[in-house]
Amino acid sequence: MDKNLSALEKNLGRFSVLDKLPENLLVPAEWQPLIGRSDKEKVKHITSLWDKYYHTEFSALLGIFQKRLNTVHLIELENKPALLYIFKNPQGEYLHYVGHAPLLSGQLPATTENLPWPAKFLEFYKTIHNGWYEVESHALGLFPIDEFFWLSEQEWGVLDEIEIDFSLDKVLAVFSNSAGGYLCWNFNTTEPSGLVWWDDEEPDMADFWDILDEWSAMGIEEY
């Protein structure tokens, strides 16, 4: 493993790049074709996988994949398979994202299992990744499902300055932009809706998928 990848262990922990399918790991079937492929082939394969399931929801991010994604490595991280994405941003800097293996049946935490999830959201965790984010910031992408948190579980100084008409214990944060903004699902409404929570100003009601796509793309293009 080259020194640039080794430096990632400071934030990611120890990992190894796999050049063949390991006997001790259950590698998702849709990841297995990455083994032995060229960088160009790996980018095409993983972009096609995202596009297959989320062509509309991640249209901006998929455009970034085509422009900025250099390669994808299958890695072993904490005795589990994961994917390491390497992007090159407009400034010529390399950005590294990690995507954990999709959830298997029965792996959904009991605390979130019975929520009225919107269509396609949990499917991301079952088909693409159980969390996908920039390594250094541990942000700019969807949290692993066990890192979701209700806003009521945190202290927010901004509540001394604003008034809200909804309950924080029904707003679930699933994404951080690393700059004080959190994309959340708001379960106060009849149908779950998107909400952007800021740590220094009033929250915004938003289209969840639009913000998710926009922030994910901006994390690479404007980081």
With contact defined as beta carbons under 8 Å apart, do 172 and 187 qualify? yes
Cα dihedral 125, 143, 121, 123, rounded to 10, equals: 0
pLDDT averaged per 10 residues, the chain (length 223): 82 95 94 97 98 98 98 97 98 97 84 84 96 98 96 96 96 97 96 97 97 98 87
Q: What pLDDT, on a 0 to 100 scale, did the predictor assign at position 172?
A: 97
pLDDT of 192 = 96
Structure-token pair, residue 176: 């951080």
Let me know how many helices (H) and strands (E) the chain has, helices first: 7, 10
Q: Where are the domains of the chain?
A: 3-221
pLDDT of residue 1: 58
- Distance between alpha carbon 191 and the CA centroid of its chain, in Å? 23
Gap between the Cα atoms of 175 and 178, Å rounded: 9
Q: What letter would DSSP give residue 103?
A: P
8 Å CB contact between 89 and 95: yes
